Amino acid sequence: MSQQNAEPDPTDVRSALATLVADEPTLPSGVDDIERRGRRRLARRRLGWAAGAVAAIVGVSLGATALTGGGTPAAPAPVAVAPAPVDGGPAGGSQLAQGFTVDAALRALGTVLPAEQVGDLPMDIGWREGGHLSIPVVAPSGTLTLTIAGGTCTATVDPAGAIGASRLDAIADAICAAWRADGSPAITPAGPAGPEQPDLAAQ
Amino acid sequence: VGEDREGFREYAAARRGHLRRTAYLLCGDWYLADDLVQDALAKLFVHWRRIRSRGEVDPYVRRMLVNGYLATHRRPSRREVTTADLPDRPAPAPAPTDDGTRDLLLRALSELQPSQRTIVVLRYWDDLSIEQTAATLGCSPGNVKSQAARGLNHLRTVLSSAVAAEGGNR
């Protein structure tokens, strides 16, 4: 009697299942509702991604400040993003990076460039000599370089064309506006990059 | 972007009816079924471009649907709760073949373990192969085979007892 070993003929069960859905009520909502729900989900993902990126950048900034701050003990990892100073002065007494922070630049960038177009940020991200900040971009992939020097801001991308010229202008304008809103603070290089990083183990 | 959006809308419009029926057979509640389908399609919306370019749209949505259903059993907050006051809702029209078998079958389905019920629905309603069902649930084909056979036997036993009872009443 047992049908456990052979695959039984499921025709009767299939037709029984069909009777269960025979009284299907009309669909209560359209594709618009589904799309709206999808957009909300997408917005939440982007918000989460942006918050994570900002927290990571603030963490890196704190770490860099602790390393270059002459024996200042390292601060614990931040759990929330502190608002940027609005009085234009230095970050009086705190261990937050001084000058125009990478965080502030990325926030300004986010007003022009969608979050998903920004690639994974390197651990050593920071301003370099000459007022340059390199940010990886994706789709198409490349490196966006923001430069604040001589009171002006520029945005370039390598390879050329990865971001349209008009969008690059908009990015430069957004960065400049944020920098000026901060009181045009000095651009403080984060220290040597890549292989020039100090060997922590040796220290 | 516009083309992507249209592509998603076309897919959702074409498939949500079938997905809804599958979801209903999984959970036995049209309202929850609508919610499960909307949730699965909303997840698809987020990853539409990537999933479509891989040609994995149907398996992805099915997986999201099944995950959503199984999650309702894992999370107490999403489980169905009984209330004294039922909301006023229009009663569904009785099915043409409704002779009590329908209720019996729904009860028999609800007696299956959630994963076993999922296997039965995917195998015998969605016509998925053993391998496709195993891939959807992330289990072995052997597990699918044995669970499907047990589930089927249970349903068949219930159905045959109903037929026997009906014969006895005549």
Confidence bin at A127 (pLDDT 50/70/90) = confident
Residue in this structure with the two tokens 């498939």, named with its chain if needed: B15
Rounded CA gap, A25 and A33, in Å?
18
The pLDDT of residue A198: 42
State the average pLDDT over residues B99-119. 87
CA distances in angstroms from B52 to A45, A148, A170, B23, B43, listed in the order given: 20, 41, 32, 22, 13
Residue A28 has pLDDT above 80, yes or no: no
The pLDDT of residue A69: 59
Contact yes or no for B12 and A41 at CB 8 A: no
User: What confidence tens digit (pLDDT) does each residue in A141-171 have?
Assistant: 788 888 888 788 888 888 887 888 878 888 8
Out of A162-176, A183-197, B9-23, give the one with best mean pLDDT.
Answer: B9-23
CA distances in angstroms from B138 to A97, A121, B51, B129, listed in the order given: 47, 33, 18, 14
Of B64, B26, B25, give the one whose Cα is nearest residue B43: B64
CB A96 within 8 A of CB A169: no
Higher pLDDT, A189 or B39: B39
Higher pLDDT, A98 or A140: A140
Rounded CA gap, A99 and A86, in Å?
12
Residue in this structure with the two tokens 């999922």, named with its chain if needed: B118
Backbone phi and psi for residue B111, each to the nearest 5 degrees, phi listed first: -80, -15
The pLDDT of residue A194: 42
Contact yes or no for A25 and B16 at CB 8 A: no
Confidence bin at A45 (pLDDT 50/70/90) = confident
User: What confidence tens digit (pLDDT) does each residue in A102-119 have?
Assistant: 777 877 787 777 776 777
Of A88, A90, A36, A34, give the one whose Cα is nearest residue A65: A90
Rounded CA gap, B10 and B4, in Å?
10
Rounded CA gap, A88 and A100, in Å?
10
The residues on A that touch B, with CB distances below 8 Å, are: 3-5, 7-8, 10, 12-14, 16-17, 19-25, 27-29, 31, 33-35, 37-42, 45
Confidence bin at A51 (pLDDT 50/70/90) = confident
Confidence bin at A2 (pLDDT 50/70/90) = very low
Angle, helices A102-110/A165-181, rounded to nearest 10 degrees: 130
Contact yes or no for B124 and A10 at CB 8 A: yes
Residue in this structure with the two tokens 């025709």, named with its chain if needed: A11
Rounded CA gap, B11 and B1, in Å?
15
User: What confidence tens digit (pLDDT) does each residue in A75-100 have?
Assistant: 444 444 444 444 434 434 433 445 77
Helices (H), chain A: 11-20, 31-68, 102-110, 165-181
User: What confidence tens digit (pLDDT) does each residue in B20-57 have?
Assistant: 999 999 999 999 999 999 999 999 999 999 999 999 89
The pLDDT of residue A19: 86
The pLDDT of residue B39: 93
ipTM of the complex: 0.76
Rg (CA), chain A: 26
The pLDDT of residue A187: 82
User: What confidence tens digit (pLDDT) does each residue in B128-142 have?
Assistant: 999 999 999 999 999
- Chain A contact for B96 (CB, 8 A cutoff): yes
- Scanning every residue of chain A, which has its alpha carbon at the shortest distance from the alpha carbon of B35? A34
The pLDDT of residue B12: 94
Contact yes or no for A20 and B24 at CB 8 A: yes
Q: Which of B125, B143, B146 to mutate to test the interface with A (most CBs of A within 10 A)?
A: B125
Residue A52 has pLDDT above 90, yes or no: no
CA distances in angstroms from A16 to A25, B102, B158, listed in the order given: 18, 8, 11
Of A114, A98, A56, give the one whose Cα is nearest residue A81: A56
Q: How much is the mean pLDDT over chain A? A: 71
Contact yes or no for A4 and B20 at CB 8 A: no
- The model's pTM: 0.54
Rg (CA), chain B: 18
Rounded CA gap, A109 and A49, in Å?
14
Residues sharing a CB contact under 8 Å with residue B28, sequence separation 6 or more, in sequence order: B106, B109, B110
Out of A64-68, A152-156, B100-104, B106-110, give the one with best mean pLDDT.
Answer: B106-110
Higher pLDDT, B162 or A155: A155
Contact yes or no for B150 and A4 at CB 8 A: yes
The pLDDT of residue B58: 94
* Helix (H) or strand (E) segment spanning residue B50: helix B30-53
The pLDDT of residue B134: 94
CB-count burial class (<10 Å; 0-12, 13-18, 19+) for A110 = middle
Q: How many residues appear in chain A?
A: 203
**What percent of chain B lies above the pLDDT cut of 70?**
79
The pLDDT of residue A63: 74
How far apart are the CA of A167 and the nearest CA of chain B, in angstroms? 17
